[in-house]
Chains A and B, each alone.
Chain A
Amino acid sequence: MVKKILSVALCAAVLIFIYAPILLLVVYSFTDATVIGRWEGFSFGLYAQLFRSEEIMRILLNTVVLALAAAALSTVLGTAGAIGIFYSKKKVGAPLKGISQIPIINAEIVTAISLALLFSFVALYRTYFSLIIGHMVLCTPFVVLSVMPKLKQMDPNVYEAALDLGAGPTKALFKVVIPQTFSGILSGFMLSVTLSLDDYIVTAFTKPRTFDTISTYVYNAVKNGTNSSTPALRALSALIFVVMIAAVLVVNLSARKKKEASR
Chain B
Amino acid sequence: MMKFRFSRKQLCIPYALFLILFVVIPMLMILFYAFTGETADGGISFTLANFADFFTSAAKLSTLLMSFTIAIISTAICLLIAYPLAYVLARSGWKKRSVLLMIFIMPMWINFVLRITALRELLDLIGLLGTENYLNTIIGMVYDFLPFMILPLYTTLEKLDTSYLEAASDLGANKLTVFTRVTFPLSMPGVISGITMVFMPSMTNYVVSDTLSNFNITILGKLIDQYFTTYDNWHMGSMISIILLVIIFLTLLATGGFKEDKDNARGANLW
Binding site for B on A (CB under 8 A): 7, 10-11, 14-15, 17-18, 20-22, 24-25, 28, 36-37, 77-78, 80-81, 83-88, 92-93, 96, 99-111, 113-118, 121, 133, 136-137, 140, 142, 144-146, 149, 168-170, 173, 177, 186-187, 190-191, 194-195, 197-198, 200-201, 205, 214-215, 218-219, 222-223, 227, 233-234, 237, 240-241, 244-245, 247-249, 251-253, 256
Is B115 in the interface zone, CB < 8 Å from A?
yes
With A96-B15, A191-B268 known to touch, is A200 a contact of B112 (CB < 8 Å)? Answer: yes
Q: Which residues of A contact B238 (CB under 8 A)?
A: 113, 117
Binary contact track B15-43/A, C-beta < 8 Å → 1, others 0: 11011101111110110010000000000
Q: Nearest A residue to B33 by beta-carbon distance? A: A117
Q: Which residues of B contact A252 (CB under 8 A)?
A: 99, 102
A-B contact sample (10 more), CB < 8 A, given A77-B15, A110-B245, A118-B22: A21-B115, A114-B27, A142-B265, A145-B262, A187-B271, A191-B271, A194-B109, A194-B271, A201-B206, A241-B114
CA distance A14 to B89 in the complex (A): 12
Q: Are A245 and B114 in contact (CB under 8 A)?
A: no
Q: Are B23 and A85 in contact (CB under 8 A)?
A: no
Is B92 in the interface zone, CB < 8 Å from A?
yes
Q: How far is the CB of B46 from chain A (nearest CB, A)?
A: 17
Q: Are A107 and B125 in contact (CB under 8 A)?
A: no
Q: Which residues of B contact A136 (CB under 8 A)?
A: 18, 22
Binary contact track B94-129/A, C-beta < 8 Å → 1, others 0: 000011101110111111111101111110110000
Q: Are B266 and A109 in contact (CB under 8 A)?
A: no
Q: Are A117 and B23 in contact (CB under 8 A)?
A: no
CA distance A37 to B125 in the complex (A): 6
Q: Are A146 and B269 in contact (CB under 8 A)?
A: yes
Q: Which of A7, A84, A168, A170 contacts B13 (CB 8 A)?
A: A84
Q: Which of B19, B92, B210 contacts A96 (CB 8 A)?
A: B19
Is B241 in the interface zone, CB < 8 Å from A?
yes
CA distance A114 to B25 in the complex (A): 9
Is B207 in the interface zone, CB < 8 Å from A?
yes
With A81-B15, A84-B13, A118-B25 known to touch, is A170 a contact of B268 (CB < 8 Å)? Answer: no
Q: Which residues of B contact A87 (CB under 8 A)?
A: 7-9, 11
Is B63 in the interface zone, CB < 8 Å from A?
no
Q: Which residues of B contact A80 (CB under 8 A)?
A: 11-12, 14-15
Q: Which residues of B contact A177 (CB under 8 A)?
A: 8
Binary contact track B248-271/A, C-beta < 8 Å → 1, others 0: 100010000000001101111111
With A114-B26, A118-B22 known to touch, is A11 a contact of B85 (CB < 8 Å)? Answer: yes
CA distance A14 to B207 in the complex (A): 23
Q: Are B98 and A201 in contact (CB under 8 A)?
A: no
Is B217 in the interface zone, CB < 8 Å from A?
no
Shortest 10 CB-CB contacts between residues of A and residues of B? A84-B12, A81-B15, A114-B26, A84-B11, A190-B271, A21-B118, A187-B271, A87-B8, A107-B204, A80-B11
